Amino acid sequence: MKFKQRMLVVVSLLIIVGFTLTASVSFYLSRQAALDSLVEHEMPLTSDNIYAEVQRDLIKPRTVSSFMGNDTFLEDWILGGEQDPTSVTRYLNEIKQKYGAFTAFMVSDLTRNYYHAEGLLKQVSESDSRDDWYFHLRQIPGDSELNLDPDLANGDELTIFINFKIHTSDGTFLGATGLGLNLASITQTFSDYRERYGNNVYLVTPTGNLLLHDRSVPFSETLFQKIGIQSVVDQVLSQPEGRFSYVKDGTTYLLNTRHIEELNLILCVEAEEGQVDDALFPPLFITLFVCFIVTGVVLILLLKAINHYQQELEGVAWQDPLTGLLNRRAFTERYERIKSSHLRSGKPLALLMIDVDHFKAVNDHGGHALGDKVLQTIAQLLNRNQRPADCLGRWGGEEFILLLPETDLEQARVIAERVRLNLETDGLLATLCPQGVTLSIGVAVEQDVFDLDAHVLAADTALYQAKQDGRNCVRTAE
Ligand SMILES: Nc1nc2c(ncn2[C@@H]2O[C@H](COP(=O)(O)OP(=O)(O)OP(=O)(O)O)[C@@H](O)[C@H]2O)c(=O)[nH]1
């Protein structure tokens, strides 16, 4: 790989690695900050808000159920032998209407009659699994329990029942009463929570049953069956408040829990750790895009700079600094190129060795600076008169070399004569050197074997002859 390509690759890699590292570190730090904010602020805040909403949605019906459980009307009616069931039915209907409940019910322990807002529904029986809730309520030490069951009175729709015991002041169990809330509307509320706060929300009983949640989780699930959460489920159930994380299907979930005293339920707010990435990826992509653009611009500038300096260096390497003509090395390289096309075509290639006559005298009389000026002027004149395909160089000192492709000896001689004459009659040179500047030129033509040394030697020999013949003339090689 060339130096230039190596430089471009190294610089590209440096920029790309630099940008990628910077972008990655900044992405990592931003992600940590976003996660901290999610765990420390957003989830607890969501939990607070949902707690307030759960209080509004569930605690009020619970208060009403509690009021029903402690209502002396029901106690008296049961103790009075359950006369006139319409009074209980009316009572239940009024409660149901007033508080917008899905159902209101009362069960007498004496007769096992189950009343609801439209009258007697059935009798509860220990042999009917649907009535398990009732016999369970009888046994528990507390006053109340929340249950999720199908409601017989409403086409078996899943209903949240808030069950309260009815008992006498001395604690004798008389039956159960309470409200049923429509599950569909409550799960909708939880789905609304999810949409509003962007987190999963569910309520869990102290034994780990999922009681209420949005529709994303099957109802039959318990917390123990929820994949991934098993690692922390014991802590979730035993701590009044907590922050946990668990992994499910390669995704990390954050869990914020809180015990709701009044309902004896655990409120769980769950967020995907990856949700913070959604906000962070666009800036990352912008950074990488900027990196791409900057890399491109830097590479273009670098390429231009390298090309510029390369050209300058090539100029220094190939140019004669005084005259701007090709130096000996560049001329040799050109000769080799031109030679190969002549080898194919077999056409003649002419070489002119051009030497300034008595140049030493110019230096001696006018000084070295004038000598330089004269050499530059001669170079310009020679350059001006050459054809596009010709190749002119400075061979050394006051000696120039001119290569004429596809030119035979006679044509070359004519051209050399013209060059000599042009120079002899040039006005500027006459001004610089009043004593006059003349050229001696030796011409040699190659047709078969193109060898620069031999070619130069032949032209030099002709030049020597020109000098011998009194200078200011053209001589051709035999
Ligand atoms: N000013 C200047 N003089 C140079 C340069 N290169 C060579 N010379 C001078 O050119 C002169 C060449 O002198 P000679 O080789 O004796 O040839 P000449 O005086 O031209 O005589 P003939 O070639 O025999 O006609 C020397 O004095 C060199 O110092 C240059 O770049 N600048």
pLDDT tens figures, 50-95: 777 777 777 888 899 999 999 999 999 999 999 999 999 999 999 9
Low-confidence winner among 64-78, 208-222, 251-265, 378-392 (lowest mean pLDDT): 208-222
State whether the Cα torsion 138-140-141-142 is positive or negative: negative
Mutate to test the pocket of ligand 1, among 363, 441, 472 (most ligand atoms within 8 A of CB): 363
Residue 252's pLDDT is 86
Query: Cα(398) to centroid of ligand 1, in Å?
Result: 5
52 C-beta closer than 6 A to ligand 1: no
State which fold the 70-184 domain adopts: Beta-Lactamase (3.30.450)
CATH 3.30.70.270 correct for 328-476 = yes
Reported as half-sphere exposure (CB side, CA atoms, 13 A), residue 208 has a value of 15
Residue 198's pLDDT is 74
Gyration radius of the chain's alpha carbons: 53
* Phi, psi of 156, rounded to the nearest 5 degrees: 60, 30
pLDDT tens figures, 253-293: 888 888 887 777 888 888 888 777 777 888 888 888 888 88
Angle (CA) 273-274-276 rounded to 5° is 85
Class of residue 12 by CB neighbours under 10 A (exposed 0-12, middle 13-18, buried 19+)? middle
User: Which residue spans of the chain are classified as CATH 3.30.450.20?
Assistant: 70-184
Q: Return the amino acid letter for 70.
A: N
Residue 217's pLDDT is 52
Residue closest via CA to ligand 1's atom 28 equals 360
Query: Cα(463) to centroid of ligand 1, in Å?
Result: 15
Give 212's strand partners.
203
Tell me the pTM: 0.50
Query: Cα(243) to centroid of ligand 1, in Å?
Result: 95
Closest CA to 171 of 247, 75, 241: 75
372 C-beta closer than 6 A to ligand 1: yes
Query: Cα(375) to centroid of ligand 1, in Å?
Result: 10
Residue closest via CA to ligand 1's atom 12 equals 360
30 C-beta closer than 6 A to ligand 1: no
322 C-beta closer than 6 A to ligand 1: yes
DSSP per residue, 113-130: EEEETTEEEEE--TT-GG
Residue closest via CA to ligand 1's atom 24 equals 358
Residue 1's pLDDT is 61
Mutate to test the pocket of ligand 1, among 322, 327, 358, 359 (most ligand atoms within 8 A of CB): 359
473 C-beta closer than 6 A to ligand 1: no
Angle (CA) 383-387-392 rounded to 5° is 45
- Of the chain, the percentage scoring pLDDT greater than 70 comes to 97
- Say if CB 213 and CB 187 are below 8 A apart: yes
Closest CA to 254 of 268, 265, 239: 268
214 C-beta closer than 6 A to ligand 1: no
Closest CA to 38 of 276, 280, 281: 276
Q: How confident is the model at residue 214 (pLDDT cuts 50, 70, 90)?
A: low
Query: Cα(365) to centroid of ligand 1, in Å?
Result: 12
461 C-beta closer than 6 A to ligand 1: no
Residue closest via CA to ligand 1's atom 32 equals 372
pLDDT tens figures, 401-443: 999 999 999 999 999 999 999 999 999 999 999 988 999 999 9
Class of residue 323 by CB neighbours under 10 A (exposed 0-12, middle 13-18, buried 19+)? buried
Residue 23's pLDDT is 84
Residue closest via CA to ligand 1's atom 5 equals 397
Query: Cα(321) to centroid of ligand 1, in Å?
Result: 17
Query: Cα(371) to centroid of ligand 1, in Å?
Result: 8
397 C-beta closer than 6 A to ligand 1: yes
How many Cβ atoms are within 10 Å of 150's Cβ, its own excluded? 12
Largest interatomic CA distance in the chain: 159
- State the first-to-last Cα distance of the chain, in angstroms, to the nearest integer: 49
Query: Cα(415) to centroid of ligand 1, in Å?
Result: 24
Residue 18's pLDDT is 86
Angle (CA) 394-398-400 rounded to 5° is 35
Cα 258 → chain centroid: 38
pLDDT at 359 over 90: yes
DSSP per residue, 206-223: TTSBEEEE-TTS-TT-BT
Cα–Cα distance, 68 to 318 (Å, whole number): 108
363 C-beta closer than 6 A to ligand 1: yes
pLDDT tens figures, 7-31: 888 888 888 888 888 888 988 888 8
365 C-beta closer than 6 A to ligand 1: no
- Mean pLDDT (the chain, rounded): 87
User: Which residue spans of the chain are classified as CATH 3.30.70.270?
Assistant: 328-476
Q: How confident is the model at residue 3 (pLDDT cuts 50, 70, 90)?
A: confident
* Burial state string for 278-289 with b = 16 or more CB within 10 A and e = fewer than 16: eebeeebeebee
Cα–Cα distance, 66 to 62 (Å, whole number): 6
Class of residue 393 by CB neighbours under 10 A (exposed 0-12, middle 13-18, buried 19+)? buried
Residue closest via CA to ligand 1's atom 7 equals 397
Mutate to test the pocket of ligand 1, among 323, 360, 376, 463 (most ligand atoms within 8 A of CB): 360
60 C-beta closer than 6 A to ligand 1: no
